[in-house]
Amino acid sequence: MYQKIDEIKKYIKCFNIQTYDDLETFRIKFLGKKRGILTNLFKELKEISIYKRKIYGKIINELKKEVQRKIFHYQSKNDIIKNEKGLKHDYDPTIPGKSIEIGSIHPLSIIKNRIIEIFLNIGFTYVDGPEIEDDWHNFTALNIPIHHPSRDMQDTFFLCKNPDILLRTHTSSIQIRYMKKHRPPFRVLSIGKVYRNETISSRSNFMFHQAEGFFIDKKVSFSDLKQTVHYLITSLFGKAKIRFRPSYFPFTEPSAEVDIHCNSEWLEIMGCGMVDPEVLKNVDINPEVYSGFAFGVGIERLSLMIYDMKDIRIYFNNDIRFLRQFKSEF
Ligand code: DAH
């Protein structure tokens, strides 16, 4: 055994280490759990007398330390060759790390999330609906007559005619989709993109976002609608002056538009009204028993006021300098 130890000592000393792979081979050769040279010697110790075991035990332990020292030496050596391709391991650990940039939430999404939160607080359910709609959900079931201008090719993006498949022109189609599948009472909110063939300007775009809300139950009245709109506006703006103006929508009766007083002028922000009995009939809800209100708000309009902006195009041209300013809350 003594002779063997002498050879092993030389072997440890002369083992040529240039790469990390060499270092790993070296470690396994001597200390590998199954066939490491020193590991085997330790096993052999069990078979010799106690007297010899003490002496050889000490010597083998020394060898083990020798191997560990050599491993440590190469591990801490900065210029060890990293791999066979000869790449130097030459990083400088003192250079500051590259920070990961975290984006911010888009301002329209911030407002969308805020509105969802406001309505979840008063028991509304949030639902989504398809942006590609058919004529029935977008127009017919909402009591929009066949010659209504919004059915015109000039105003609506039709994907195909007969059958009429189109990009929804408003989120009111969600009312129909939801009411067809559920029985009252319900309070529902939905927010999404709508499309109209409009010229892009500071106030309009061919696509914008709408929030649609509706509430159907027994004995729902116009004062419930007013209260809800008031709650939405004060939650968003704090104290604000609003007014209800009589208006017309085919799917509500009576109908109104809501204006908000902002920078000494009245700005229209939403359409609303009591759901027309014809609409309820179209989705098999008895208008003698149930009534309800509905409203639709333009998110871009609201956001211009909330962020005091003049031009909605800023929300869509992806200017990172603008977008970066928004934190996740306002
Ligand atoms: N859908 C209407 C629009 O896009 C907005 C609207 C008006 C929605 C009255 C409603 C409503 O739910 O009751 O102009």
- C-beta atoms surrounding 298 within 10 Å: 21
Evaluate if residue 77 carries a pLDDT over 60: yes
pLDDT digits (tens, 9 = 90+) for 158-213: 999 888 999 999 999 999 999 999 999 999 999 999 999 999 998 889 999 999 99
DSSP string of 117-171, one letter each residue: HHHHTTTPEE----SEEEHHHHTGGGT--TT-GGGSTTTS-EEETTTTEEE-SST
Cα distance between residue 5 and residue 14, in whole Å: 14
Tell me the best of 124, 143, 170, 195 to mutate to test the pocket of ligand 1, counting ligand atoms within 8 Å of each CB and taking the most.
Answer: 170
pLDDT digits (tens, 9 = 90+) for 267-300: 899 999 999 999 999 999 999 999 999 999 999 9
Please give the pLDDT value at position 205: 92
CA angle 103, 108, 112 (to 5 degrees): 110
SS3 category, 177? helix
| CB of 135 sitting under 6 A from ligand 1 | no
Evaluate if residue 1 carries a pLDDT over 90: no
The CB-side HSE value for 124 (13 A sphere, CA atoms) comes to 23
| CB of 213 sitting under 6 A from ligand 1 | no
pLDDT digits (tens, 9 = 90+) for 96-133: 888 887 788 999 999 999 999 999 999 999 999 999 99
| CB of 303 sitting under 6 A from ligand 1 | no
| CB of 294 sitting under 6 A from ligand 1 | yes
Please give the pLDDT value at position 87: 52
Kind and range of the H or E run holding 254: strand 252-262
Distance 172 CA to ligand 1 centre (A): 6
Cis peptide upstream of residue 149 (ω within 30 degrees of 0):
no
Average pLDDT over residues 305-313: 90
State pTM to two decimals: 0.71
- What b-and-e string marks burial along 155-179, b requiring 16 or more CB atoms within 10 Å of the CB? ebeeeeeeebebbbbbbbbbbbbbb
